[in-house]
Amino acid sequence: MSEKIRILGLDPSLVACGWGVIEAVGTKVSHIAHGVVRPPVKAGLPARLNSLYDELANIVQMHAPDSVGVEEAFMKNNAMSALKLGHARAICLLVGTQAGLSVGEYAPRAVKKAVTGTGGADKEQVAAMMNVLLPGCGVAAGDAADALAIAICHAQRVNHQTTLKSRRARSAPITPHKVAS
């Protein structure tokens, strides 16, 4: 029998950091909450990072997840944007680690494939699948939908790892046969 696990998914950004909380029991997932953290855009980088950390720490305290999934960074054309995204990712990783939670990291294509079946899905397709997989969540395309998708991707990985551990625990140790001489 699978245990219930609460997962926080994070879509890192210094502008609009999406978050989503789900509960998973085996392959069944249910929506708990979602939203977007918007650090003050006119503040300096240290203040924005601090604001992001504080908001995410409050979400962790409020929703008490067992584990966190964070989207990996990807490089487009702007190196400065990628660097800022890296700072936001660091805060997302840190908030989970500081809370003593296990943290998984997932490539954007892996997240999309986990929830839509294709790694090339667009944001509208991801949001549509979130509304199918998590009935009643009413999430629109964007950062919160992506965060819920990250949480589901993480739940699939955690479920897979739990299944493997369970199978290993149930299998009897291999003992060599003695050959009669």
Instruction: Report DSSP letters for 19-46, one per residue.
Output: EEEEEEETTEEEEEEEEEE---TTS-HH
How many residues are given for the chain?
181
Q: Taking CA 90 as the corner, what is the angle to CA 86 and CA 96, rounded to the nearest 5 degrees?
A: 145
What does the pLDDT read at residue 102?
Answer: 93
What does the pLDDT read at residue 180?
Answer: 56
Residue 51 pLDDT class (50, 70, 90 cuts):
very high
Domains of the chain: 4-170 (3.30.420.10)
Catalytic residues: 11, 71, 143
What does the pLDDT read at residue 62?
Answer: 97
Distance CA 94, CA 158 (A): 20
Distance CA 61, CA 77 (A): 36
Position 159 pLDDT exceeds 80: no
Position 134 pLDDT exceeds 50: yes
Least confident of 31-40, 55-64, 112-121: 112-121
For residue range 67-91, list pLDDT tens digits in order.
999 999 876 677 888 888 899 999 9
Position 179 pLDDT exceeds 80: no
Least confident of 1-5, 44-48, 56-60, 135-139: 1-5
